[in-house]
Amino acid sequence: MSDQYEHFSTAHEYMKTDLGRQAANRMLESALFLISGGTNDMLDNYYALPIRKLMYSVSAYHDFLLKNLATFVKKLYMKHARRVGVLGLPPVGCLPVDIASSSRLKRECVSSHNADAQLYNDKLKQLLKKLANDLPDLKITYVDIYNPLMDMINNPAKYGFEHTLEGCCGSGSWELGPLCSQYAEVCSDASKYIFWDAAHPTQAAYEKLTKILKDNSLSTLLN
């Protein structure tokens, strides 16, 4: 998150130059900040690489990530961020790439990885309560993406989906980012898929998730 903070800090300096310090600070105080992190840390840095597992238990690694998150939020606060939403982890074990990496003979969610995500989310909620108590005027809320996405996976027809655990692009199991280019074979109707590639939801899924988050988790920050 250090890179993101440096970009934000630079932008803040430009705002102060263009608008003046007080106007820039007022704008930031009224802005909504959304923080998302942890998914790649678990998928790439913990599950995929044996080094982290030798250094940390799952719970200890969560604590390491949350300590960094707390530092990041405090830095934003010092730059006049006052409305902050922090996304929890999604059901990591249901991402197509995690299913494929776990060498599942049957396409089903990795329950132990989902349990890890829920443990992280429980700790995150407690951390956000502490930050709200420690930082005056900070409105900070936990943004639950785990349960809405899990409901889409368990009840796809309710949301108009037909494909839940494979992506629209390529094999639907491994392809990510640049591998889903104009040269890759894709499904005929992405709106029927929850996932576009092996880790990221489709536009249709994002639209439904956005509405759910606005109506629920983010409602206290948007009012």
Position 151 scores a pLDDT of: 98
Q: Which domain holds residue 88?
A: 1-147
User: Tens of pLDDT along 12-43?
Assistant: 676 777 778 888 888 889 999 999 999 999 99
Same domain, 136 and 189: no
Number of domains in the chain: 2
For 45, 77, 189, 203, 211, the CA distances from 127, given in Å and listed in that order, are 22, 15, 41, 31, 26
Q: What is the pLDDT of residues 165-207, one digit of tens each?
A: 999 999 889 888 888 887 888 999 999 999 999 999 999 999 9
What is the 3-state secondary structure of 64-131? HHHHHHHHHHHHHHHCCCCEEEEECCCCHHHCHHHHHHCCCCCCCCCHHHHHHHHHHHHHHHHHHHHH
Say whether both 54 and 128 belong to one domain.
yes
pLDDT band at 1 (very low <50, low <70, confident <90, very high): low
pLDDT at 45 over 70: yes
Q: Are residues 98 and 190 in the same domain?
A: no
pLDDT at 31: 92
The full DSSP string for 152-176 is HHH-HHHHT-SEEEEESBTTSSS--
Residue 215 structure tokens = 């109506």
Q: In sequence order, what are the residues at sequence separation of 6 or more whose Cβ sits closer than 8 angstroms to the Cβ of residue 110?
A: 92, 93, 94, 98, 99, 102, 104
Picking from 86, 116, 147, the residue at the C-terminal end of a domain is 147
Of the listed ranges 10-14, 44-48, 129-133, the one predicted with least confidence: 10-14
Is 44 part of any domain?
Answer: yes
Residue 104 has pLDDT above 80, yes or no: no
CA nearest to 12, candidates 77, 85, 87: 77
Whether 103 has a pLDDT exceeding 80, the answer reads no
Q: Is position 153 within any domain?
A: no
Main-chain phi, psi angles of 103, to 5 degrees:
55, 45
Asked if residue 194 and residue 116 are part of one domain, the reply reads: no
